[in-house]
Amino acid sequence: MAISEARARPAGLFDRLASTTSSSLEDLQEAAQLALQVEFTTIPVYLTSLYSISDTGSHAYQVLRSVVMEEMFHVNQAANIVVALGALPRFTGDAVPVYPGHLPRANPETTPQVGLYRASPDVFANVFTAIESPAQYGAPPQGDNYDSIAQLYGALIAAVDAYPGNPFSTTGVPGRQRTNIYLGKFGGDVGEVVDKKSFHVAVNEIVEQGEGTVPPEKPLVPVERFGTYNHYGKRTDGTYGPILGTPYELSHFLKFREVALDTANFPPTLPIISNPSGSDYTNPQARRLAESFDDHYSLMLRAFEAAFRADAPDPYFSVVLSIMHRVLPHLARTLMTTPAFADGDGAVGPNAAPAWRYRADRRRSVEELARELEDESHRLPSTAQGHEPRRYLEAALAGDQEIVKAAGALRL
C-alpha cells in the first residue's frame, strides 16, 4: 500500500507497545489494523496478475489462485483479531491500498514495490516472492519499518504478550467475528480469538501459510505441515489437481518461487497495461468499464466493513463474496480484452486493466450498477473482435443480477 507522509501512522507505534508504561489497548488495535491492511494490500496485486493469465488451467494460474484464497483467510482472521481487541476493521478511507507503493509501514529499502502487473516469471520472482519472503532465522520482531511480514507479526505477538491481562473479548465489542467462512481447500480454519492462546494459533497459521518458517538447520526452506491429507499440484500423469496423502503444503514463498523458476511453462497472458490509470484511457468504453469496476470494488469494501459490525445486517455472503467471485473477475477480464486507447486492437494491446480505486464520492446500489452494466452491454460490438469482452461483461451482469435478488437495492 502506498502511504503518503500525511497518511502514515505516527512513528513509534511499536516502540510504545514495547513499553509497559506507555502502551494502550488503542495501540494494540492500531497494530492489528496495520496487519489487516498488509494482508489486504496483497490481494488486488495477486488478482490483477491472476486475471491476466489466459490459461486458467495452467499451473501458474492455479498456484496464484490458491494463494489468493489463503490471503482472504488471512484478511478474515486478522479482522477477527481487530474485533476481539474491541475495534472495527476498516477497509475504506485511508485503509484502502493505493498502487504502486510499498506494503503499509514496510521498509522501502528492503521490501519490494508492489503494484498491479501483468503476470510474468519476473513478477513472480521479483515481486511476489519478495512480498512473501520469510525472515532469516533469528531475525528480531519489527513493527515500524519492518523488513518482512513475519517480523511485523513477531512485533504484534510481542506486544500482545507484553500487555497485562487478556486484551481480547467477545462481549461488549462493536464488531462480530466471522468463523462461518469456508474458502475451500485453499483457505484455512478461521478461528475465534478470545485470549492470547487463540491469538497465537491464529497468527501462527497466517505466518506459516504465507512466508513459512525458517528452522535453524535448514534456512529458507519454508515448508509446513498444512496439507495434512491432500495437496494440489502436478500429479504423476502430468495433470494438476489434488494429490491424496501428501503431508506438506508449500508456503506462498515456495509456491511463487517454483512458478518463477519454471519459465519454459509459463502461460500466455493478456496484453494489459501495468499500474493503470483509468484517466489515461482514450477509449471511452475502457473508461466506463474502469469506473464500473471501481464502483463495484468500492461497494464491496463498504460491505466488508458492514460484515464485521454487530449492529448491521450481514452482507458478507450476499454482497462481499458475490462481488469478489461473480462480478470482479469478469469485469476485470472485460477490461483486459478492451483496448485502452481509441481504435486499438484488443488482441495486440495495450489493453485496459482495473486500477482498484476506492470511490467515496460514487455510492451506487447493486441495482444501479446492474443497470449501468446492461447499458454498457448494448454498446459492445457484435463483431468477432468484440466477442470476448461481451462474454465477460454478460457474466458480470449475471452476477449483479443474482446479487440484486439476494440483497435488493442495498446501498452501503
The residues spanned by each domain of the chain are 13-265, 278-407
Sequence-distant (6+) residues with CB within 8 A of 210 are: 70, 71, 74, 132, 149, 150, 251, 252, 253
Distance from C-alpha of 69 to C-alpha of 73, rounded to nearest angstrom = 7
Q: Are 18 and 32 in contact (CB under 8 A)?
A: no
Beta-bridge mates of residue 231: 243
Other C-beta atoms lying within 10 Å of the C-beta of residue 407:
20
* For the chain, counts of helices (H) and of strands (E): 13, 4
Nearest to 60 by CA among 223, 201, 266: 266
**By CB neighbour count within 10 A (0-12 exposed, 13-18 middle, 19+ buried), where does 311 fall?**
exposed
CA end-to-end span of the chain: 24
- C-alpha angle 42-364-30 in degrees, rounded to nearest 5: 40
Q: What is the Cα 350 distance to its own chain's centre?
A: 25
Task: Return d(Cα 338, Cα 243) in angstroms, integer.
Answer: 38
Question: What is the rounded CA–CA span in Å between residue 318 and residue 404?
Answer: 9
> In sequence order, what are the residues at sequence separation of 6 or more whose Cβ sits closer than 8 angstroms to the Cβ of residue 408?
366, 367
Q: What DSSP letter does each residue of 119-142 carry, written as one string?
A: --HHHIIIIIHHHTPPPPTTPPP-
Q: For position 395, what pLDDT does the model report?
A: 94
Place of cell 464488531: 175
The secondary element (H helix, E strand) that includes residue 244 is: strand 240-244
Pick the closest to residue 68 from 184, 235, 200 (CA basis).
Answer: 184
DSSP 8: S
pLDDT by residue for the chain (412 residues), tens digit each? 343 333 444 447 888 887 766 668 999 999 999 999 999 999 999 999 999 999 999 999 999 999 999 999 999 999 999 999 999 999 999 999 999 999 999 999 999 999 999 999 999 999 999 999 888 878 899 998 999 999 999 999 999 999 989 999 988 899 999 987 655 545 567 889 999 999 999 998 888 776 655 554 444 444 444 443 344 555 556 665 555 544 445 788 888 999 999 999 999 999 999 999 878 899 999 999 999 999 999 999 999 999 999 988 899 999 999 999 999 999 999 999 999 999 899 889 899 999 999 999 888 888 999 999 999 988 876 654 556 888 999 999 999 999 998 876 566 6
CATH of 13-265, one of 1.20.1260.10, 3.20.20.140, 1.10.1040.10, 2.60.40.1930: 1.20.1260.10
pLDDT of the residue at 182 = 56
Q: Write a three-state SS string for 146-203.
A: ECCHHHHHHHHHHHHHHCCCCCCCCCCCCECCCCCCCCCCCCCCCCCCCCHHHHHHHH
User: 353 near 332, Cβ under 8 Å?
Assistant: yes
Residues in Cβ contact with 137 at an 8 Å cutoff, skipping those fewer than 6 apart = 214, 215, 216, 219
pTM above 0.75, yes or no: yes
Please give the pLDDT value at position 293.
97
User: Which H or E run includes 31?
Assistant: helix 25-52
Packing angle, helices 328-336 and 387-407, rounded to 10: 160
